[in-house]
Amino acid sequence: MELKRVFGTTLKRIRVAKGLTQEDFALVSSRTYLSSLERGLKCPTIEKLDQLADVLKIHPVTLLLAAYAEQNPPEAASVLLETVKTELAALGYR
């Protein structure tokens, strides 16, 4: 599945799980824009990703990781986290 479609599905799943409506994002996004994100028609900028995650009360990386993990088996999130940790360590981030 195309990444922007998976991102949209993940965004909607988390939004619904948190009990939020599209209107709850009114300070950071129009309902029309949020709907187009959730349907996989658009991709957010990094600034918009940060704003969306703030409304969801999660870290932006959590939102991205959830989208990437959605494309893989259930254990994908832990494998992805280990990959990120290893790559950050190799780049000097501890």
The domain in which residue 29 lies consists of 3-90
Nearest to 69 by CA among 5, 7, 18, 14: 7
Predicted local distance difference test score (pLDDT) of residue 75: 77
Cα(11)–Cα(65) distance, integer angstroms = 11
Position 66 pLDDT exceeds 90: yes
Position 12 pLDDT exceeds 90: yes
Cα(63)–Cα(49) distance, integer angstroms = 8
Structure tokens at 2: 């195309």
Q: The domain spanning residue 49 has which CATH number?
A: 1.10.260.40
25 confidence band (pLDDT: 50, 70, 90): very high
90 confidence band (pLDDT: 50, 70, 90): very high
94 confidence band (pLDDT: 50, 70, 90): confident
**Do residues 18 and 56 make contact, with C-beta atoms less than 8 angstroms apart?**
yes
Position 13 pLDDT exceeds 80: yes
Q: What is the DSSP string of 27-61?
A: TT--HHHHHHHHTTS----HHHHHHHHHHHTS-HH
Per-residue pLDDT, averaged over 46-73, amounts to 94
For the entire predicted model, the pTM comes to 0.90
| H helix count then E strand count, the chain | 5, 0
